[in-house]
């Protein structure tokens, strides 16, 4: 059995999901290959990723306006010329060639551009119809252009909240399988908090993680300063991702103030351990980070000024009493003091995390793909 995983570099989340699925399948003896759909056009790959990150940082309101307009696009225009199809047409021939060369039994897509490409190829009759096409919805609700993926066989969705919007975009209910979001298996493991804190030399009883994704978007130094102003006896684990400027700023702050309760990191590979050492997370509301936090039973404080899909993600978790969403960063101090002084509220949020956990999502998805392929072979 051979499975082709199609991803796209747009932040870190889509690639991390592809790697999690790939690792599980390879451990099951399945031959796999991960391909970035823009591998043949490195300039466009870099432009798409840089433009996405730049827009989030510098023109979030304009980006959100465009995002909302495109999300409301008429589903019947899914294969018509426009921004989306013009973009994927730059690489669709390369992906078609890769599929014909690799001859996979199934394709799993971890970005809706990837699933749009294979859906369009099937629609045009350009790939073998016996190849199973799967896609993974990587947020709690569909992004713009998901209507262009309706010709895939199944979509694995994080939860049932997405179903009404997916049906509006043209999917049939039987195409949608609720599995949770596939993340690295290490986030499902329950680690001993005290042992991890000892390993990391963290001394404080209550620890707050400040996270800003793989690319470190969001002025973490301002968050750290606001936590320090509460004068609460807490430790602060700060994750800057690939944002070296942010890390240097906070290193400078630690040195200047002589802080011994701020643990400052760049890009790390042990986020699961750092989450296990934490009691609360302050960050943006990308679905991968949220899912990892929920699996670690961490109540979430969602940063101010989140946009687009992050708003929908945050609103759902607020409704489920797992998260508190800030309107401004100044609110952070009051929210932290409230949770610190009202442990019963904090504990209820932790319990709600337990209710929303979907463990072993990666296993569920991969075993479904394997079993479906075996059945078809019979």
- State pLDDT tens for residues 162-207: 999 999 999 999 999 999 999 988 999 999 999 999 999 999 999 9
Residue of 239, 345, 235 whose CA lies nearest to 284? 239
Residues 78 and 44 in one domain: yes
pLDDT (tens digit per residue) in 314-368: 999 999 999 999 999 999 999 999 998 999 999 999 999 999 888 889 999 999 9
Mean pLDDT check: name the lowest of 30-34, 157-161, 308-312, 336-340.
308-312
Quote the domain boundaries for residue 156.
2-181+360-377
Average pLDDT over every residue of 46-68: 75
**103 plus 206 within the same structural domain:** no
Shared domain check, 365 and 227: no
pLDDT tens readout for residues 99-151: 999 999 999 999 999 999 999 999 999 999 999 999 999 989 998 999 999 99
**140 and 199 assigned to the same domain:** no
pLDDT on residue 359: 85
pTM of the model: 0.87
Asked if residue 215 has pLDDT above 70, the reply is no
Query: Residue 160's domain is classified under what CATH number?
Result: 3.40.50.2000
Residues 25, 155, single domain; the answer is yes
pLDDT at 369: 97
Structure tokens at 36: 């970035």
pLDDT, residue 13, reads 81
User: Do 268 and 344 share a structural domain?
Assistant: yes
Residues 59 and 145 in one domain: yes
Shared domain for 162 and 198, answered yes or no, is no
The dihedral through the CA atoms of 172, 177, 182, 187 has a sign that is positive
324: tokens are 């508190």
Which pLDDT score is estimated for 123? 95
Per-residue confidence (pLDDT) for residue 216, from 0 to 100: 62
- Whether residue 140 is found in the same domain as residue 275: no
DSSP 209-251: EEE-TTTT-S-HHHHHHHHHTTT-SEEEEEE-TT-HHHHHHHH
| Pairwise CA distance, residues 2 & 105, whole Å | 5
Among the listed residues 156, 157, 81, 158, the one whose alpha carbon sits nearest the alpha carbon of residue 120: 81
Same domain, 222 and 258: yes
Strand pairing class (2-7; 176-178): unpaired
Q: How confident is residue 297, by pLDDT bands cut at 50, 70 and 90? A: very high
What is residue 377's predicted lDDT score, i.e. its pLDDT?
A: 63
Residues across the chain:
378
Please state the rounded mean pLDDT for residues 49-54. 72
Can you tell me the mean pLDDT for 51-55?
72
What span, in angstroms and rounded, lies between the C-alpha atoms of 312 and 187?
A: 23
- Is the pLDDT assigned to residue 45 strictly greater than 80? no
Mean per-residue pLDDT over the chain, rounded: 91
Answer whether residue 378 shows pLDDT above 50: no
Please tell me whether residues 193 and 159 are part of one structural domain: no
Number of domains composing the chain: 2
Q: Are 153 and 215 within one domain? A: no
- The angle at the Cα of 110, spanning 56 to 349, to the nearest 5 degrees, equals 65
């Amino acid at each position: 059995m051979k499975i082709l995983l199609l991803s796209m570099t747009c932040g870190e989340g889509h690639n991390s999901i592809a790697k999690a699925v790939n690792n599980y399948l390879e451990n099951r003896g399945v031959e796999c290959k991960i391909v970035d759909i823009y591998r043949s056009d490195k300039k466009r790959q870099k432009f798409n990723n840089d433009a996405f990150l730049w827009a989030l940082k510098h023109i979030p309101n304009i980006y959100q306006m465009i995002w909302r307009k495109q999300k409301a696009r008429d589903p019947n225009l899914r294969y018509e010329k426009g921004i989306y199809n013009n973009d994927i047409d730059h690489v669709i021939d390369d992906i078609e060639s890769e599929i014909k060369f690799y001859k996979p039994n199934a394709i799993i897509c971890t970005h809706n551009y990837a699933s749009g490409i294979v859906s369009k190829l099937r629609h045009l009759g350009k790939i073998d119809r016996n190849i199973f096409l799967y896609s993974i919805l990587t947020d709690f609700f569909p992004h713009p252009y998901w209507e262009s993926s309706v010709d895939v066989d199944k979509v694995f969705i994080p939860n049932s909240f997405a179903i009404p919007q997916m049906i509006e975009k043209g999917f049939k209910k039987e195409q949608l399988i609720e599995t949770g979001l596939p993340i690295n298996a290490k986030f499902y493991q329950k680690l001993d908090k005290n042992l991890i804190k000892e390993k990391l030399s963290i001394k404080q009883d209550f620890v707050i993680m400040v996270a800003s994704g793989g690319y470190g978007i969001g002025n973490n130094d301002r968050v750290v300063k606001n936590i320090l102003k509460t004068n609460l006896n807490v430790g602060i684990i700060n994750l800057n991702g690939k944002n070296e400027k942010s890390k240097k700023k906070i290193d400078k702050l630690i040195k200047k103030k002589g802080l011994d309760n701020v643990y400052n990191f760049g890009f790390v590979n042990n986020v699961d351990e750092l989450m296990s050492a934490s009691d609360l997370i302050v960050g943006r509301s990308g679905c991968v980070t949220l899912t990892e936090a929920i699996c670690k039973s961490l109540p979430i404080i969602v940063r101010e000024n989140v946009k687009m899909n992050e708003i929908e993600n945050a609103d759902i978790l607020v409704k489920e009493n797992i998260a508190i969403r800030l309107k401004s960063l100044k609110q952070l101090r009051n929210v932290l003091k409230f949770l610190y002084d009202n442990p019963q509220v904090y504990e209820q949020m932790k319990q709600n995390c337990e209710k929303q956990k979907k463990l072993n999502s990666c296993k569920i998805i991969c075993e479904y793909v394997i079993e479906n392929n075996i059945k078809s072979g019979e």
